[in-house]
């Protein structure tokens, strides 16, 4: 049902784009109510406007902090026209009804971005505006809410096409958009109080894409030097941190090298230097321009070796003075001192189509205690260790993926392939290219093997143990092959897809 607009309450911070609307409202004999600067703007156009202060009997007080928070304002917005009791109270207390509310919010995010003081930022936390928006949106059955100047053109068209009336569906649509405005606004305020700032980035994944980061990197790192982190840097640093979090520093020094969100080098060793040397050996070509991360302090000897490689970011819990002096010589290098890397987001958000996908972070990491041996051959003690190592890597690698490891070192991985066979062939080819002996290596898969082809290829390459989720009706074919060729296979029941 279309409802005519006979009265409008208008109170906006930004006046641009408002003039055509107030003139159109006036032409339809809509009574205009407003406050402060907006009322002056309307009157300067030569249009009549009722001051909200004249309705409430109270002036704007507390330096403008309180203007519209009054029953004679909110009663007229929230009144349910079909309820006799509501309308009796409206009449009893002489409250005007409002059919339209146009309001925007103080520029909180802009004030933060402009480097405002704490007091300036706090003063830009809108109270009355948010309350007006929520009230009008809640009562959209009787009141239309416009909470974003980007809606002005569409509203003006709807209003004129409806000859001064809007349908219920139109009012409901504007209400939904209005709640999105307040949700985003409250999120910005919550982020600021939590220390999460919004930082414009040079660009997104590509130079023609705009981007920004909202969060508090100071919780995770102390930035020692270097240029600003880019969009792609942040994605790679995120991958490095997530992978490094899989390893316990008490079990040795782990070095990871990340390129395009995937590990191209990982090794755990008793010394930092050896973990770096063996991580780099995995794929020294892909390591060029990568993200480097270690869970132990960087000493001078290790820094001397790292210094010969071009890299974007280096992350470690600490650096010796000599190491830092050496690594800092190239000022564009981003050098970060890690703090509590466990403070990563535990909820994953991703846009899809016209909505948002939300899921928990994959925090499942298998150990030998979670592994079920399904073959006659049982993994050796070293193979169990390597299977545990491999499953940590496969969990943090883009699907479809196969990971090959041996003696606490990534030998190679096949990443982001459309078939698991292609991923395995890619991994074997890369391992051979860099001179690794796959005899006695283990293989981890992010999902089950629907056919025995992968274990056949792995066997011919020298791989002796396999870990996979299991659960396929075809599992027995792969198990039979392993039994016939003295390979060990364990299943976990846990799949690790990563898109």
Please say if 70 is a catalytic residue.
no
Compute the distance between CA of residue 55 and CA of residue 70 in angstroms, rounded to an integer. Answer: 10
Compute the distance between CA of residue 33 and CA of residue 29 in angstroms, rounded to an integer. Answer: 13
In angstroms, the first-to-last Cα distance of the chain is: 46
Give yes or no for a contact between 99 and 143, defined as CB atoms under 8 angstroms apart.
Answer: yes
In the block, which residue shows the tokens 């969990």?
A: 395
Give yes or no for a contact between 33 and 12, defined as CB atoms under 8 angstroms apart.
Answer: no
Please say if 138 is a catalytic residue.
yes
Give the number of other CB atoms < 10 A from CB of residue 409: 21
Torsion of CA 29, 34, 40, 44, to 10 degrees: -10
Does residue 281 have a cis peptide bond before it, meaning omega lies within 30 degrees of 0?
Answer: no
Tokens read off for 356: 């948002």
* Length in residues, the chain: 499
Catalytic residue among 149, 260, 339, 485: 260
Does residue 268 have a cis peptide bond before it, meaning omega lies within 30 degrees of 0?
Answer: no
- Across 131-152, b (16+ Cβ under 10 Å) vs e yields bbbbbbbebbebbbbbbbbebb
The CA–CA distances, whole Å, from 369 to 168, 241, 496 equal 59, 25, 18
Residues 6+ apart with CB under 8 A from 362: 395, 496, 498
3-state secondary structure of 61: strand
Q: Dihedral sign, CA of 331, 258, 305, 341?
A: positive
Give yes or no for a contact between 419 and 469, defined as CB atoms under 8 angstroms apart.
Answer: no
Compute the distance between CA of residue 352 and CA of residue 499 in angstroms, rounded to an integer. Answer: 12
Catalytic residue among 15, 23, 72, 138: 138
Give the number of other CB atoms < 10 A from CB of residue 456: 16
Neighbouring-strand partners of residue 308? none
Helices of type H across 448-487: 453-461, 475-484
Q: What angle do CA 162, 166, 171 make, to 5 degrees?
A: 150
- Beta strands 334-338 and 311-316, pairing class: parallel
Give yes or no for a contact between 406 and 441, defined as CB atoms under 8 angstroms apart.
Answer: yes
Give yes or no for a contact between 2 and 95, defined as CB atoms under 8 angstroms apart.
Answer: no
As annotated, the active-site residues are 138, 260
């Amino acid at each position: 049902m279309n409802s005519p607009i006979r009265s409008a309450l208008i109170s906006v911070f930004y006046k641009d784009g408002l003039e055509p609307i107030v003139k159109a409202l006036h032409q339809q004999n809509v009574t205009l109510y407003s406050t402060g600067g907006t009322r002056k703007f309307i009157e300067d156009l030569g249009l009549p406007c009722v001051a909200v202060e004249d309705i409430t009997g109270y002036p704007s007080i507390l330096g403008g902090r309180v203007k519209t928070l009054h029953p004679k304002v909110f009663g007229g917005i929230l009144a349910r026209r079909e309820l006799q009791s509501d309308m009796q109270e409206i009449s009893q207390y002489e409250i005007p009804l409002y059919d339209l509310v146009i309001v925007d919010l103080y520029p909180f995010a802009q004030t933060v971005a402009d480097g405002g003081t704490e007091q300036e930022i706090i003063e830009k936390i809108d109270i009355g505006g948010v309350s007006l928006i929520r009230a009008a949106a809640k009562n959209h059955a009787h009141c239309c809410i416009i909470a974003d100047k980007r809606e002005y053109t569409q509203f003006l068209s709807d209003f004129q096409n409806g000859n001064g009336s809007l349908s219920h569906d139109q009012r409901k649509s504007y209400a939904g958009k209005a709640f999105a405005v307040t949700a985003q606004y409250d999120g910005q305020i919550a982020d600021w109080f939590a220390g999460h700032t919004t930082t414009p980035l040079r660009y997104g994944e590509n130079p023609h894409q705009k981007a920004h980061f909202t969060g508090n990197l100071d919780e995770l790192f102390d930035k020692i030097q270097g240029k600003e982190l880019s969009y792609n840097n942040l994605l790679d640093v995120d991958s490095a941190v997530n992978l490094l979090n899989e390893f316990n520093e008490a079990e040795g020094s782990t070095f990871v090298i990340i390129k395009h969100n995937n590990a191209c080098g990982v090794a755990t060793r008793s010394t930092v230097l050896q973990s770096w040397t063996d991580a780099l050996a995995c794929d020294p070509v892909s390591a060029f321009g990568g993200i480097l991360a270690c869970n132990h302090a960087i000493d001078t000897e290790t820094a001397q070796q790292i210094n010969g490689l071009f890299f974007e970011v280096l992350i470690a819990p600490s650096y010796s003075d000599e190491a830092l002096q050496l690594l800092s010589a190239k000022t564009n290098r981003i050098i970060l001192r890690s703090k509590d890397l466990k403070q990563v987001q535990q909820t994953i958000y991703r846009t899809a189509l016209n909505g948002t996908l939300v899921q928990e972070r994959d925090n499942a990491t298998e150990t030998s205690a979670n592994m079920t041996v399904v073959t006659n051959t049982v993994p050796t003690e070293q193979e169990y260790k390597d299977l545990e190592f491999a499953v940590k890597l496969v969990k943090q690698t883009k699907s479809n993926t196969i990971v090959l490891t041996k003696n606490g070192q990534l030998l190679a991985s096949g990443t982001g392939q459309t078939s698991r066979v292609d991923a395995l062939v890619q991994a074997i080819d890369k391992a051979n290219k860099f001179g690794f002996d796959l005899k006695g290596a283990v293989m981890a898969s992010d999902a089950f093997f629907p056919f025995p082809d992968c274990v056949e290829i792995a066997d011919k390459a020298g791989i002796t143990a396999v870990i996979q989720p299991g659960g396929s009706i075809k599992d027995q074919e792969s198990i039979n092959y392993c039994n016939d060729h003295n390979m060990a296979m364990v299943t976990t029941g846990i799949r690790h897809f990563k898109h």
